[in-house]
Structure formats: structure tokens, C-alpha cells
Amino acid sequence: MSVDTSPRTTTWTYVEGEWLSGNPPLIGPTSHAMWLGSTVFDGARWFDGIAPDLDLHCQRINRSAVAMGLKPVKTSQEIEALAWEGIGKFDGKTPIYIKPMYWGEHGSPGSVVAVDAESTRFALCLFEAPLGGNGGITLTVSPFRRPSPETAMTDAKAGSLYPNSGRMILEARSRGFNNALVRDMNGNVVETASSNVFTVKDGIVYTPVANRTFLAGITRARVIGLLRQEGFDVREETLSVEQFMAADEIFTTGNYSKVVSVNRLDDREFQEGPVARKALELYMDWAHGRSASEE
């Protein structure tokens, strides 16, 4: 039986000068990307008429391309302009995920394993995707680890990194949890399988220091800055599982769902905490251009 390849929500993709609806066939069986994984992407969000930090996401996709050995064929400004053009194709009622992508079509001369930078292709895909995270999530410590920069393309938002995250999530779900708390090869907590993570103890906010084993996200940086402006003591440190288990509250940040509380870590239960609520409030106020005087 054939697999239905149509997208699950309304989708538009820009490729080679035109907008195509649905899920256009772009990568063939001989493409380097399909065969050997030379794909990078980024993800921004549109909701309520705004696209927070869209410019930074468009800049990061080009950095990821270079790290993968690809050649950016669009400037970040061109990608941003195309994103706004694509947003106009939707009805404006449902949040949108904005996904610029680069991939390699051919291997380099003399070694098919290495990508040929001159064969780089670009697409920009937008699709409807409601913001998630309502009600909080549950986490379990994953038996799987994040790789180090010496063993994987950790400096890029590379598609090849995500099967490892996928197996973390599937393993966690097999034990009744939504997601996984993930460590690096040294046993230090670095993130969840799909987002950055924060812990709060005695009013101090902690988040794993960016050690190049995980993607220190744009939303993570934004939340750190907003909390510090609000007067919170936010520290980037090397953190252990034991520190998370002893926390007063835990929350995650990420582009897909912004700020989400954790209500369980293995056998320890948590309530939605005041810092997580404040972080989300500060983020949304910043994103909508509101100031404290307007509240």
C-alpha cells in the first residue's frame, strides 16, 4: 500500500523561483541529501501577526549551511522577505512554522561522501502548526546522549542530528513520558530531546552552559535576556541530573512552543512555577511589542 505523502496541514513551499502548494517532490533517490544526509534547516514562527526573531533564524540557516559544507544561495534578508511573502498565502488564523532549508544534490568530485557545495539547493517551507505545550510536559532521563563536536555536526541545525533526538523521544514515550532529559558524553544535562531546558532553585534560574554539544537556541537566548532585564539571576552552568531532581521548578524553551513547564521528571512531580509563567509572559509581551506600562 502506498504512503500518503500529502502534508497534514496547509503548506506552501518556495523553490527555484515559485511557490508550490502541498508537498512537492524535490529530493530524488540519487540526491546527496537523501543518500548521505547533507541537510540543514531552521525554524521560525508566525502567530498573532508577528514573527519573533525571524531575522535571527534566517541568519542561522546560512551559518548552518556553511558548517555542513554547503554554499548559501540566499542572503538572510532575502529569506526573511520570502518568509513574509509566504505568510501572506495563509488565512492568518493558525500559527505557522517557517522552515528554510538547504541541501546538497551531488557529492564532491573524488569523494561522493563529501557534499559538492556548488550543488546546494534551497527551499522555504511554511505550514500551519498550532503552538503547543499547554498543560506542561513530563520528562525522563534518557539513556542516550548528545554527541560532541568531534563526533557530529553539532554546530549546525542539521537534519542528521534529529534521528538521535527521535529515538530519545520514542524511548521516553515507551515508558510513559512526553520527552527526555538529555546528557552529554560527560554525563552533564544539556537539553531535552527537542528543546532547551531551565531549572529554578531558591529563586535562581539555571540553564546548561552552551558547550557546543547542543543547539543553544534563539528563544533560549531571548528568554535569558528578558529574565535578566526583569531582575532574575540567570546562570549558565554545568548541571547534573541531581540538580534537576532537586529543583523547585523546571521549564523548557524552544521556537516551536516557546516556554513550557515541566510537571514531572521521572518520579518527581512539579507544579507550574512562577518563573516559567513569568518567562512566558515576558516573552509574549516582548514579541507583541508591549511594555509594562501597557499592562
Question: How far is Cα 134 from Cα 208, in angstroms, rounded to an integer?
Answer: 24
Asked whether residue 162 is domain-assigned, the answer is yes
pLDDT (tens digit per residue) in 166-225: 999 999 999 999 999 999 999 999 999 999 999 999 999 999 999 999 999 999 999 999
Determine the Cα–Cα distance for residues 145 and 152; give it in Å rounded to an integer. Answer: 12
Query: pLDDT at residue 3 above 70?
Result: yes
C-alpha cell of 239?
548541571
d(CA 277, CA 251): 9
Question: Is the residue at 295 inside a domain?
Answer: no
Contact yes or no for 168/140 (Cβ under 8 A): no
Q: Does residue 200 lie within any of the structural domains?
A: yes
Residue 166 has phi, psi (to 5 degrees) of -60, -45
Of 78, 104, 126, the domain-final residue: 126
One domain, residues 160 and 258: yes
Of 126, 152, 169, which marks where a domain is finished? 126
CB burial of residue 110 (10 Å; 0-12, 13-18, 19+): exposed
Q: Which of 223, 275, 270 is nearest to 247 (CA)?
A: 270
Is the domain of 92 the same as that of 139? no
- One domain for residues 118 and 160: no
Residue that is last in its domain, among 78, 93, 126: 126
Structural domain for 85, as ranges: 9-126
Residues 245 and 167 in one domain: yes
C-alpha to C-alpha distance for 217 and 228, rounded to whole angstroms:
17
Distance (Å, rounded) from C-alpha 152 to C-alpha 160? 9
Let me know whether 120 and 145 are in one domain.
no
Q: Is residue 291 part of a domain?
A: no
pLDDT band at 141 (very low <50, low <70, confident <90, very high): very high
* Statement: residue 294 has pLDDT above 60: no
Is there a single domain that holds both residue 271 and residue 154?
yes
Q: Is 8 in a helix, a strand, or coil?
A: coil
Which residues partner with 234 through β-bridges? Answer: 205
* Residue 19 domain-assigned (yes or no): yes
Average pLDDT over residues 136-143: 97
Q: How many CA atoms does the CB half-sphere of 128 hold within 13 Å?
A: 13
146: DSSP letter: P
Task: List phi, psi (to 5°) of 101.
Answer: -140, 145
Do 141 and 262 have their domain in common? yes
Average the pLDDT over 8-17 and give the result. Answer: 97
> What pLDDT, on a 0 to 100 scale, did the predictor assign at position 50?
97
d(CA 52, CA 48): 10
Measure the CA–CA gap between 5 and 25, rounded to whole angstroms.
Answer: 9
CA distances from 123 to 16, 73, 144, 219 (A): 8, 10, 32, 23
Domain count, the chain: 2
Q: pLDDT averaged over the chain?
A: 96
Where residue 134 falls among pLDDT bands split at 50, 70, 90?
confident
**What would the DSSP string read from start to end of 173-218?**
HHTT-SEEEEE-TTS-EEEESSSEEEEEETTEEEEE---SSS---H
Domain holding 190: CATH number? 3.20.10.10
Predicted pLDDT at 295: 42
List, in sequence order, every residue forming a beta bridge with 229; answer none if it has no partner. Answer: none
The predicted-structure confidence for 48-77, as pLDDT tens digits, reads as follows 999 999 999 999 999 999 999 999 999 999
User: Which residue from 295, 205, 182, 213 is spatially nearest to 259, judged by alpha carbons?
Assistant: 205
Check whether 234 has a pLDDT greater than 50: yes
What CA–CA distance (Å, rounded) separates 291 from 90? 29
For residue 75, give the CATH number of its domain: 3.30.470.10
Asked whether residue 2 is assigned to any structural domain, the reply reads no
Structural domain contains residue 204: yes
Helix (H, G, I), strand (E, B) or coil at 225: helix
* 194 & 231 share domain: yes
Residue 212 gets the label, from left (phi > 0), alpha (psi -120 to 50) or beta, of left
Domain shared by 281 and 162, yes or no: yes
258 and 227 share a domain? Answer: yes
